[in-house]
Amino acid sequence: MFILDDLLFRPFVGIVDALHTIALDEMYDVEGLEAELKENQLLYELGERSEAEYRRRKDELEAELETAREVHEQLSSGRVEVKK
Amino acid sequence: MNNRYVYGVVESDTVEFETDAVAGADRVYTISHRRLGAVVSDIDTTDPEETDEDAQIHDDVLREIMAYDDGTTVVPMQFGMAFESDRALKNVLRGARPAFRRAMSDIEGKIELGLKLVREEDADVDREAIEADVADRLEPIAAQSVENDLFSDRLVLNRSYLVGEDEREAFDDAVANFEEDHDELMIQYTGPFAPYSFVDVKIGAKQ
C-alpha cells in the first residue's frame, strides 16, 4: 500500500501520528462499506443491478470490509505504529 | 445442543412445531415461566454466528410463530440471543416480565411493514414533498412508524410501519396508489414482519 508506506517512513513525529490515524480511518471506512453493501443489495432486489454485477460488487466490498475491520482492530490495539 | 436460541416471547406455553430452525435444529418449542413463554430451538453455542441463511431462518420462524394457532402475538428478539440453560432463560423471563407485558400489549394484533423509496438513477426529486405525501397517505392508517437509516443517497425514504392486521388491506392500497403517482421512484414494500422496530425489550444475551 503506497500511501501507508509513504506515511510510515516519513521522518516526522507528532502531527504525522494524528494524520496517519485520520488517513487510515478514511481509507478503511467500515461504516461506508457497510452502507455500500446494503445499497448493492437494494439495487439488486429492485432489478436495477444484474445478478452478475451484484455478486461481483458484493465479493469486492466484503473483502474490503474485512481488511478495514482488521486495520481498525490493529489501530485500536496499538499494533500499527508510526516509525519515527 | 444444551443451549437455547430464542426467537421471541409469547403469552403461551404451547407453541411447538417442526421447522428448519437456526443452526440446523429441526423444531421449536416453548420454555415458560408463569405463562410467559420464550420460543426457542436447541443450539450448541451461546454466541451464534449471523450468517445470511440463519438470519433468514430467524425471520421465517418468527413469521411461523405469528401465524401459529390462527394468530399469536410474539415479542420478537433480534438475531443472536442464546442462553446457557433453561434456568438462565427463565430468570430473564421473570426479571423482564413487566417489559414483556407492555411490549405485548403495544403490538397485539399488529404487523410490521417496511417501505423504501429509491429515486430512479437520473431523477431529481423533492425529498420534502415526497416525505409529506407519504406521511399524508400512510400515517393515518398506521398505528406507529419509525424512520430507518438512509444508507444510500439513492434512498429518499426508509420507514417501518406498525399496522393493525385489520388495516393491512387499506395500507396495501395506499402504497399501491402512491406508487402509481410517482414514476420517478422505485418502491420496495416488504413484510409482514414480526414488529422488531416497535419493541424495545433487550434481553441480556449470553447469560
pLDDT tens digits, one per residue of B29-78: 999 999 899 999 999 999 999 998 999 999 999 999 999 998 899 999 99
Question: Which residues, other chains included, contact A28 with Cβ-Cβ below 8 Å and sequence gap of 6+?
Answer: A67, A68, A71, A72
Distance CA A64, CA A1 (A): 13
User: What CATH number matches the domain at B110-193, 3.30.1330.40, 1.10.3720.10, 1.10.10.10, 3.30.70.260?
Assistant: 3.30.70.260
pLDDT tens-digit series, residues B78-99: 999 999 999 999 999 999 999 9
* Chain A nearest C-alpha distance from B188 (Å): 7
pTM: 0.81
Determine whether the interchain pair A42/B116 forms a contact, defined as Cβ–Cβ distance below 8 Å: yes
CA B139 to chain centre: 19
Does B154 sit within 8 Å of A45, measured CB to CB? no
Distance from CA of A84 to the nearest CA of B (A): 39
Cell numbers placing A32: 461506508
Distance from CA of B99 to the nearest CA of A (A): 32
| pLDDT at A1 > cutoff 60 | no
Contacting residues of A for B154, CB less than 8 Å apart = 39, 42-43
User: Which string of DSSP letters, residue by residue, matches chain B?
Assistant: --EEEEEEEES-S---EE---GGG--EEEEEEETTEEEEEEEES-SS----HHHHHHHHHHHHHHHHGGG---EEEPPTT-EES-HHHHHHHHHHTHHHHHHHHHHHTTEEEEEEEEEE-TT----HHHHHHHHHHHHTTT-SEEEE----STTEEEEEEEEEEGGGHHHHHHHHHHHHHT-TTEEEEEEEEE--GGG----PPS--
**Do B189 and B177 touch, CB atoms closer than 8 A?**
no
Residues A43, B118: C-beta atoms closer than 8 Å: yes
Tell me how far apart the alpha carbons of residues B203 and B7 are, in angstroms, rounded to a whole number.
Answer: 12
Number of residue pairs across A and B with CB atoms under 8 Å? 25
Chain B residues in contact with A45 by the CB 8 A cut-off are: 188
pLDDT of residue A11: 52
Query: What whole-number distance in Å separates Cα of residue A31 and Cα of residue B191?
Result: 26
Sketch the domain layout of chain B as residue ranges: 3-108, 110-193
* Complex ipTM value: 0.79
